[in-house]
A = this chain, B = another copy of it.
Amino acid sequence: MYVVKVPAKKARSPRPTLTRESVLAAALVLADHHGLDALSMRKLGQALGVEAMSLYNHVANKDDVLDGMVDLVMGEIHVPVGRPWRDALRERSISAHDVLLAHPWAAALIESRLSPGPQRLAHHNALIGVLREADFPMDLAYRAFLTLDSYIYGFILQEVNWPFTRAERPDVVTAIEPMVTMEAHPHLIAMMSYVMDSSREELAAEGAGGAYRAEFEFGLDLILDGLAAALGARR
């Protein structure tokens, strides 16, 4: 499985021959551009200039497509090796953040997939390797892994689904406003006005890593500090 099919040399068809890889790549582009809801086998076929039924010659079914997309995304996340564990974890966490932000549909999908692909397995193996080579005992390595990944995926899900400026999603903001009252939700209002204040809108425009990058790094460093302390306590 996962063998790359080489298109026959003499193929002179107007469009390239379908392969598992081209199907997955097209699915990823479609999801990036129009969201995961817009990804149907019929539309995917259409994007490839083919009927939906043809896809079943190259992928088992839609679940197989989703698994393949997840694995493509996992392959984009960088895990540095041969570096101090804290640096390595920090860099891979930020890489994961940026990759998952670039594919807003991916985080929710990854967490809902049961069978990991080769890229995901390799990623996890490398990650655990970083911890083990830094002499994390296995129970602590497991907890470190769970804590860090819980944070990363949870953060991305919030970031991707929660547009905090009125400019981004005026419809959402105006829908919420009438339900929030000063009497019932004073603290919520205080936080919303902090979050939506103008200096943050400038941040949002800066790009690279998104407007939440500083917030992400706050929690990330907090967790890395905690792991360092836990590791120190064991020695």
Contact = CB atoms under 8 A, between A and B. Distances in A.
Interface of A: 108, 111-116, 118, 121-122, 124-126, 128-129, 132, 138-139, 141-143, 145-147, 149-155, 157-158, 161, 169, 172, 175-176, 179-180, 184-188, 190-191, 194-195, 212, 215, 218-219, 222-223, 225-227, 229-230
Say what secondary structure dominates the interface of chain A: helix
Contacts of A129: 186-187
* Ranked 4 nearest A-B pairs via Cβ: A154-B154, A150-B154, A147-B219, A222-B226
A187 B125 contact: yes
Contact of A153 (B112, B157, B223, B227): B157
A185 B141 contact: no
Contacts of A153: 150, 153-154, 157-158
A122 B185 contact: yes
A151 B151 contact: yes
A131 to B, nearest CB: 8
Contacts of A169: 114
